[in-house]
Amino acid sequence: PSRSFHGNNRLLTSHIVSYYESINQCKKELPEHFNFASDVLDEWARLEKDGRRTPANPAFWWVNDEGEEVKWSFEELGSLSRKAANVLSGACGLQRGDRVIAVLPRVPEWWLLNVACMRAGIVLIPGTSQLTAKDISYRLQASKAKCIITSDTLAPAVESVLPGSQFLKSKLIVGQGSRDGWLNLKELL
């Protein structure tokens, strides 16, 4: 039996199963190229803008331990992710297929950068804020990442291993602070 989520019947199990069955039976064509950000997120943003989807159900809703909230509609997430993709492509000099390491706690920018990387075709390598300097150094060398993204509080630990990274082109910081040689995401957005 299928049921709806939060009173919205868009994700009925029977619809999902029948969609996949139609693909398996070659009744639906798979797209040659698929990009979640433009093919799904932007479509939901368009529906939201046209009034066919209520912004009461946000695309993103984040709450921290102190009760601070960040809510983005699909339109807002789409717009912010386009801006973040432009930061990665422009200020950071990244191209489709380039790799980025993100050493961030789970702040809203973590999810924003995930969508921005999908949108721009950049490969995101997520890293927990608990990585050691040795872990970060290994990931930088093994991945040949051209950019590293971290928070202002984690930047000193990340900086300690950067001199050995031969592929790194840019460093992006998430937070209020600034550091020499680092670009600030909030300022660039």
Q: How far apart are CA 30 and CA 60, in angstroms?
A: 27
pLDDT per residue as tens digits for the range 98-145? 999 999 998 999 999 999 999 999 999 999 889 988 999 999 999 999
Say if residue 9's pLDDT is above 70.
no
Mind listing the domains of the chain with CATH numbers? 60-187 (3.40.50.980)
Rounded distance between C-alpha atoms, residue 112 and residue 114, angstroms: 5
Query: pLDDT, tens digit, for every residue of 24-58?
Result: 677 666 677 888 898 888 988 998 888 877 767 89
What pLDDT is recorded for position 28? 61
> How many residues are listed for the chain in this entry?
189
At 6 the pLDDT is 46
